Amino acid sequence: MKERCLLIPAIKKHAVIPDQLVKKLNGRTLIARALDTARSVCAAQDIFVLTDSQEISLIAERASVNFRFNQAMRFKSLDIVAEMHDTLAELAQSYKHCLIYRPSCPLLTWVDLEACWKEYQKSASDALITVKKVKQRLWNIRQGNLEQLLEDQENPYVVESRAVIILHLSLLEHWGDKNQKIKIYPYFLDERGIEIQGYQDWWICERLLNLRQIVFVVAGFPAIGMGHVFRALMLAHEITNHKIIFVCTRDSELAVENIARRDYPLVRQGSEPLATTVLKLRPDLVINDFLNTPIEYMEELKRSGCKCVNFEDDGAGGERADLVINALYENCQSDSKMHYGANYFCLRDEFLEAKRNPLRDCVKTLLITFGGTDQYNCTKRVLDIVEPICRALGISIRVVVGPGYAHLDDMVEHIKTLENPLIRFTYATNVMSQMMEGSDLAICSAGRTVYELCHMRIPGIVLAHHEREARHTFARPKHGFTFLGLMQKVNDIKIRNVFLAMLKQDRRARFWHRQDQLDFSPNKAHVIKLMLNLLDK
């Protein structure tokens, strides 16, 4: 006797949607999908279709699988094993076990069927039935009155998922006999166990079949800051129709901590090459946001067939990407693949709802912020330079540092020693727009913050952390900023003098009016569309 066969019940008159089994779901009929899955598990001669439809019989015949046709067939109960007793008894002459697989669960794959089979074998049970956990209160209606059936609310009950049943055919005669002890193993299905029981289920399954795997590859550590992580999280938040997974580079402990708090699936690169970590996840689209990508890494991704989007990448690897977004680089010409400049800068949602600052008569509030890490502790240096001036003029100071700021304890103690009630200190805020609301002037680094300040209508003084950041030429007077260069090369006297100059109303007003002409609000939707269009291709 053979070890197993696979039986597909395809009773057309039981369909909840007209012609359900032969209607195309995402380009393939339900019966065709079921046959494809079955042939990945069993040989064609071991697959049987039980049907009341001549059309489905023809489909089975053309697929070179067996079929049993009975136009009068109709199941009168939910016990499908009892309803198919005669067919199963026939199969019991040649097979030890039978997998009953229903085409109304189109999200199941051959991997799921094989997983059911392995669990069935390992459990040494007489049968396996797929089930789903339901954590709800269960009631019965008796004479118009609700009566609770299950009192135990701590443990969820289970309901049968009409997806897969595996049966030891030698026990067929005892099926349904309450006096016969039959061991049935429960196999819990995940979200792929959705059964089509109406148009809503059909719509959900079609959406899920279009689901693609998008992998964000990011880096975040003190030397490069957290801008890549924040941008990737912002974009991931906008993508709801596909599955999102994050990959952090080997040295990105800060990135891991921040992404984990958002509950996204997360993988950290181990000892293997980065491409190996990424490709294990079988991505359809890879979004690289960790500066210039190595050409070898990009070539390996492209050989796998996945699409690639790179952010802030002007290296050789970027040439292999399908789409490159370099919003922070202004001095290059955009084409169909490479997109440069502020028109591609994406604002977080919190800024779209924030109240932009009017031009006030004088500076009342100064904002000091140097990104997520501030490796050289420029925050403290700038605070010490401008604090005496602000104290004398009655200017409030908002000091904001990011989650990777390594000098937190020292800064807290330092602010205490200053004894200036006009200083407000904030660590790792999730509402940066609120910190900017009401600010008249800012001193900051040359990353994403300058665009957010521009959107909020806050002129500023900009110091670059490193040479790469100094190449972000948006932070210039034409956009409302005075750029001082690398912070390590600028002396305290120059910072003080420029700060005094920026307090003058005429210069600040010129800068404010230049910012008032810019609007980044539509950019994020445009960038998301460019990215997701790659999946359509």
Termini Cα distance of the chain: 48
Which of 449, 442, 458, 453 is closest to 386 using CA atoms? 442
pLDDT at position 135 over 80? no
Enter the DSSP assignment of 344. G
pLDDT value, residue 58: 96
Q: What is the CATH number of domain 2-198?
A: 3.90.550.10
Distance, CA of 88 to CA of 472 (rounded, Å): 71
Name the E strands within 303-451: 307-311, 323-326, 338-340, 365-369, 396-401, 423-427, 441-444
pLDDT value, residue 227: 86
Give me the phi and psi of 169, to 5 degrees please. Answer: -65, -20
What are the Cα distances from residue 346, in Å, to 162, 337, 341, 355?
45, 18, 11, 18
What are the Cα distances from residue 394, in Å, to 384, 386, 387, 472?
16, 12, 10, 33
Distance, CA of 464 to CA of 399 (rounded, Å): 18
Give the mean pLDDT of 234-253.
Answer: 94
pLDDT at position 152 over 70? no
Contact between residue 182 and residue 250 where contact means Cβ atoms under 8 Å apart:
no
pLDDT grade for 144, boundaries at 50, 70 and 90: confident
Beta bridge pairs of residue 368? 399, 443
Three-class HEC string of 103-142:
CCCCCCCHHHHHHHHHHHHHHCCCEEEEEEEECCCCEEEE
Q: What is the CATH number of domain 351-515?
A: 3.40.50.2000
pLDDT at position 177 over 80? no
Enter the DSSP assignment of 215. E
Neighbours of 190 (CB within 10 A): 9
Give the mean pLDDT of 253-278.
Answer: 93
Structure tokens at 255: 């990135």
pLDDT grade for 4, boundaries at 50, 70 and 90: very high
pLDDT value, residue 150: 65
Q: What pLDDT, in 10s, does the model give residues 396-453?
A: 999 999 988 999 999 999 999 999 999 999 999 989 999 999 999 999 999 999 999 9
pLDDT at position 503 over 70? yes
Give the mean pLDDT of 356-374.
Answer: 95
Element (H, E) at 214: strand 213-218
Residue 87 Ramachandran class (φ > 0 left, ψ -120 to 50 alpha, else beta): alpha
Distance, CA of 410 to CA of 425 (rounded, Å): 12
Domain positions in the chain: 2-198, 211-346, 351-515
pLDDT at position 148 over 80? no
Burial 12-38 (b: 16+ CB within 10 A, else e): beebebeebbbeebeeebbbbbbbebb
What are the Cα distances from residue 497, in Å, to 364, 397, 493, 504?
18, 18, 6, 12
pLDDT value, residue 324: 96
Q: Spelled out in words, what is the top-level CATH class assigned to the domain 211-346? A: alpha beta
- Across the chain, mean pLDDT equals 93
Give residue 512's identity as a one-letter amino acid code.
Answer: W
Domains 2-198 and 351-515 share a fold: no
pLDDT value, residue 419: 96
- What is the residue whose two structure tokens read 């007209």? 18
Q: Using alpha carbons only, what angle is made at residue 87 by residues 179 and 107, rounded to the nearest 5 degrees?
A: 95
pLDDT at position 153 over 70? no
Give residue 20's identity as a one-letter amino acid code.
Answer: Q
pLDDT at position 154 over 80? no
Enter the DSSP assignment of 399. E
SS3 label, residue 523: helix
pLDDT grade for 102, boundaries at 50, 70 and 90: very high
| DSSP secondary structure string for all residues of 440-490 | -EEEE-SSTHHHHHHHTT--EEEEESSHHHHT-TTSSGGGTEEEEEEGGGS
What are the Cα distances from residue 387, in Å, to 9, 52, 391, 483?
79, 85, 6, 20
Distance, CA of 116 to CA of 132 (rounded, Å): 14
pLDDT grade for 375, boundaries at 50, 70 and 90: confident
